[in-house]
């Protein structure tokens, strides 16, 4: 397949997926629509996990911390200040980013498993605080009675699952597009270089710790936006939405999809949720077993995740296309001059220093 054909196929596939995502509310019932909306929310948190784990080299189990902070902040704003979606999304981003900024010193100076344990502790402490701070968070009962959201000023409130799903889809798409655009700038290259060879980056005068701090804060803001969308999708929030099982599920989805790929994080998170919520219905009570089997199967078949497998397939197709093009060119040369392995007359003259002529006599 030619490069143009591959680009066309990629764009057609993306357009098909986007069309299906938009048409989902008209294809399924209201409960399934609400499940898809929550899947989009968790996929956005998965993007923040991939941003840290795969691109910054900081494996995390604590993105439920800024996720919860953004959710509770948006819920309180919706109940007491404004029901406008723009205000709530900005509140979620601000609160999530501020939460991450406050915990930056605990994370950016550590590496590897130590980061994993620190972020796990942050996430669990956040859930405990939400459970105990009843005057603000409602305790274990959570916050209910959150009014329907207005996307912008002057628009009607979103009072149905279909409208809330489409609003969530638009916001998630905008945030993911913004993340991808930033990662394609020199800032993304610096982040990847810091992950791949931190010592060389420091020797070159780069402030790696500062880069990681900015990435950690930005990932917290993305998770905070997801928290505001969670409030929009279910109009209720409680500590149960941010437990350890959610943290493990997100990290598992990112690993399965491909930790270095934003699209892979979205696909992996959606796959894990589908296995947990739908496939496990065939084997009630065996969701952990199915998720473990999915992880083992992916680790053996796709060591670099689903996104890495698709990249390998594309590279293989490119190499085969190049080989076919090379063979076609060599075949065209032979067709133009019999057996091309024999030197041409001009080449003989250039090699011997003699002119080639019909008489064969030396001058």
Average pLDDT, the chain: 82
What is d(CA 117, CA 61) in angstroms, rounded to the nearest whole number? 8
3-state secondary structure of 237: strand
Q: Which has more pLDDT, 45 or 336?
A: 45
The structure tokens 């399965």 sit at 256
Per the CB < 8 A criterion, the answer to whether 226 and 41 are in contact is: yes
pLDDT confidence bin for 164, thresholds 50/70/90: very high
Instruction: State whether residue 143 is helix, strand or coil.
Output: strand
Cα–Cα dist 167/159, whole Å: 11
Nearest Cα neighbor of 191 from 29, 11, 55, 7 is 55
Higher per-residue pLDDT: 303 or 345: 303
Tokens 């898809």 belong to 36
pLDDT at 360 (0 to 100): 42
DSSP string, 311-338: HHHHHHHHHHHHHHHHHHHHHHHHHHSS
Please state the φ and ψ torsions of residue 3, each to the nearest 5 degrees. -55, -40
Place of tokens 């902040």: 73
Handedness of CA 3, 4, 9, 11 (dihedral sign): positive
Residue 350, pLDDT above cutoff 50? no
* Residues 143, 204 contacting (CB under 8 angstroms): no
Is the pLDDT confidence value at 222 over 90?
yes
Q: What is the pLDDT of residue 310?
A: 57
pLDDT of residue 12: 74
- Report the pLDDT value the prediction gives residue 165, as an integer from 0 to 100: 93
Find out whether 225 and 268 touch, Cβ atoms under 8 Å.
Answer: no
pLDDT at 322 over 80: no
Residue 160 banded pLDDT, cuts 50, 70, 90: confident
Q: Please provide residue 110's backbone torsions phi and psi, each rounded to the nearest 5 degrees.
A: -105, 170
Averaged over 71-84, what is the pLDDT? 92
Give the pLDDT score at 257.
Answer: 86
Separation in Å, CA 1 to CA 7, 17, 200, 321, 331: 10, 22, 39, 6, 19
Residue corresponding to tokens 């008489």: 359
Q: What pLDDT is stored for residue 297 in this prediction? A: 80
CB-based contact 46:174 (threshold 8 Å): no
- φ/ψ (deg, to 5) at 22: -70, -35
pLDDT at 361 over 60: no
Please report how many Cα atoms fall inside a 13 Å half-sphere around the Cα of residue 133, on the Cβ side: 13
**pLDDT digits 0-9 by tens, 242-287:** 988 899 889 888 888 888 888 888 988 888 888 887 776 676 777 7
358 pLDDT tier (thresholds 50, 70, 90): very low
10 Å Cβ neighbour count for 163?
17
The three-state secondary structure class of 197 is: coil
**In the predicted model, what is the mean pLDDT of residues 16-27?**
85
Backbone angles phi, psi at 68, to 5 degrees: -65, -40
| pLDDT of amino acid 357 | 47
- The domains of the chain are located at 20-296, 302-340
What pLDDT, on the 0 to 100 scale, is given for residue 21? 83
Better-scored residue on pLDDT, 341 or 131: 131
CATH 1.10.3470 correct for 20-296: yes
CA torsion, ordered 20, 36, 219, 250, to nearest 10 deg: -120
As a whole number, mean pLDDT of residues 132-140 equals: 90
């Amino acid at each position: 397949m030619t490069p143009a054909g591959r680009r066309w196929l990629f764009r057609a596939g993306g357009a098909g997926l986007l069309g299906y995502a938009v048409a989902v509310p008209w294809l399924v019932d209201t409960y399934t629509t609400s499940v898809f909306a929550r899947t989009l929310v968790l996929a956005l948190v998965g993007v923040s996990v991939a941003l840290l784990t795969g691109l910054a080299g900081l494996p995390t189990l604590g993105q439920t911390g800024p996720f919860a902070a953004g959710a509770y902040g948006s819920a309180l704003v919706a109940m007491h200040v404004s029901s406008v979606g723009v205000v709530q999304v900005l509140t979620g981003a601000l609160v999530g980013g501020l939460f991450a900024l406050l915990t930056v010193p605990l994370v950016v100076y550590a590496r590897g498993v130590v980061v994993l344990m620190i972020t796990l502790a942050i996430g669990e402490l956040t859930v405990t605080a939400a459970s105990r701070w009843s005057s603000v968070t409602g305790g274990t009962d959570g916050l209910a009675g959150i009014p329907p959201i207005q996307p912008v000023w002057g628009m009607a409130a979103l009072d149905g699952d279909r409208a809330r799903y489409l609003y969530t889809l638009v916001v998630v798409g905008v945030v993911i597009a913004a993340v991808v655009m930033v990662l394609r700038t020199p800032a993304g290259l610096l982040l990847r270089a810091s992950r791949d060879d931190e010592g060389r980056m420091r020797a070159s005068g780069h402030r790696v710790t500062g880069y990681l701090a900015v990435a950690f804060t930005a990932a917290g803001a993305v998770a905070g936006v997801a928290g505001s969308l969670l409030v929009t999708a279910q109009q209720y929030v409680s500590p149960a939405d941010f437990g350890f099982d959610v943290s493990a599920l997100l990290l598992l989805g990112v690993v399965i999809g491909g930790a270095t790929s934003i699209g892979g994080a979205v696909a992996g998170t959606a796959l894990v949720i589908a296995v947990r919520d739908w496939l496990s219905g065939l084997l009630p009570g065996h969701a952990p077993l199915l998720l473990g089997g999915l992880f083992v199967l992916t680790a053996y078949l796709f060591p670099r995740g689903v996104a890495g497998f698709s990249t390998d397939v594309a590279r293989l197709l490119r190499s085969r296309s190049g080989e076919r093009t090379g063979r076609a060119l060599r075949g065209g040369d032979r067709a133009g001059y019999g057996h091309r392995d024999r030197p041409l007359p001009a080449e003989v003259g250039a090699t011997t220093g003699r002119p080639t002529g019909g008489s064969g006599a030396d001058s």
